[in-house]
């Protein structure tokens, strides 16, 4: 069974939702049969690379809320994260373009290190003081920590076209599937779960999707020329 997760590094509910989904997956009896694939989604597509601002400022300008409302929202998110065992800085974080991070995640996927890099990017953005938006060398350090070669990471960052098509393809697919926000979970291209739902919701969704998988229907054409554990069938003249 395949679970595809569309998310963005700048999305706090993606950070929390990933932890909730993983908690459900840990307790799922068929977890070894589940393939998890992470897909790209930008909350702020087209944002300039050098357009970095404090999260509180972004929230007040983008959503028209007061500074007090924005701070209260961050406090609530901090509590939600803490309930999942996640660190979360409610003050002093910044916000910027995540396009380069998504490009790096596609590169990391090719190297078998996507999950490691994703977790490091989330933690760096939400729990650590140093920004992930204003210095490419910060992304290089995180890439190396995830098991990638430093020069390979620098090469991807230096080429704006590297993996850009892969990011845009994920985003187009999200739109086609009806995802208007993230996190967005798709189970076997049959069920969708939107938002950072409680772990119990993911548990039910996993069980339902797994239980409704259609077994392979064999078309019987009689005697078949094939190979198996006992060898290969040899036609008799």
pLDDT tens-place string over residues 6-48? 999 999 999 999 999 999 999 999 999 999 999 999 999 999 9
Instruction: Using CB atoms within 10 Å of the CB of residue 67, give its burial: 0 to 12 exposed, 13 to 18 middle, 19+ buried.
Output: exposed
Phi, psi angles (nearest 5°) of residue 62: -75, -35
CA gap 214, 236 in Å, rounded: 36
Instruction: Using CB atoms within 10 Å of the CB of residue 124, give its burial: 0 to 12 exposed, 13 to 18 middle, 19+ buried.
Output: buried
CA distances for 53 relative to 48, 57, 86, 87, 96, angstroms: 11, 7, 23, 21, 7
Please tell me the pTM assigned to this model. Answer: 0.89
CA gap 82, 61 in Å, rounded: 27
- Joined tokens for residue 124: 């760096």
Task: Give per-residue pLDDT as tens, 70-117.
Answer: 999 999 999 999 999 999 999 999 999 999 999 999 999 999 999 999
């Amino acid at each position: 069974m395949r679970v595809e997760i569309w998310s963005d590094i700048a999305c706090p509910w993606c950070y929390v939702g990933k932890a909730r989904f993983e908690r459900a997956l840990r307790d799922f009896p068929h977890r070894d049969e589940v393939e998890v694939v992470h897909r790209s989604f930008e909350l702020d597509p087209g944002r300039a690379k050098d357009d970095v601002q404090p999260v509180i400022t972004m929230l007040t300008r983008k959503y028209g809320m007061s500074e007090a409302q924005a701070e209260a929202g961050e406090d609530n998110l901090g509590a939600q994260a803490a309930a999942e065992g996640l660190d979360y800085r409610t003050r002093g974080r910044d916000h910027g373009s995540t396009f380069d991070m998504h490009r790096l995640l596609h590169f990391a996927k090719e190297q078998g290190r996507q999950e490691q890099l994703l977790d490091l990017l989330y933690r760096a953005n939400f729990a650590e003081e140093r920004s992930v938006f204003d210095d490419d060398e910060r992304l290089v350090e995180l890439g190396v920590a995830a098991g990638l070669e430093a020069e390979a990471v620098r090469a991807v960052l230096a080429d704006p076209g590297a993996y850009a098509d892969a990011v845009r393809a994920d985003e187009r697919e999200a739109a086609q599937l009806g995802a208007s926000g993230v996190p967005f979970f798709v189970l076997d291209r049959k069920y969708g779960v939107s938002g950072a739902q409680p772990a119990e919701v993911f548990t039910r969704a996993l069980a339902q999707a797994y239980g409704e998988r259609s077994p392979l229907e064999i078309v019987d054409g009689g005697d078949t020329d094939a190979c198996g554990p006992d060898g290969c069938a040899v036609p008799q003249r």
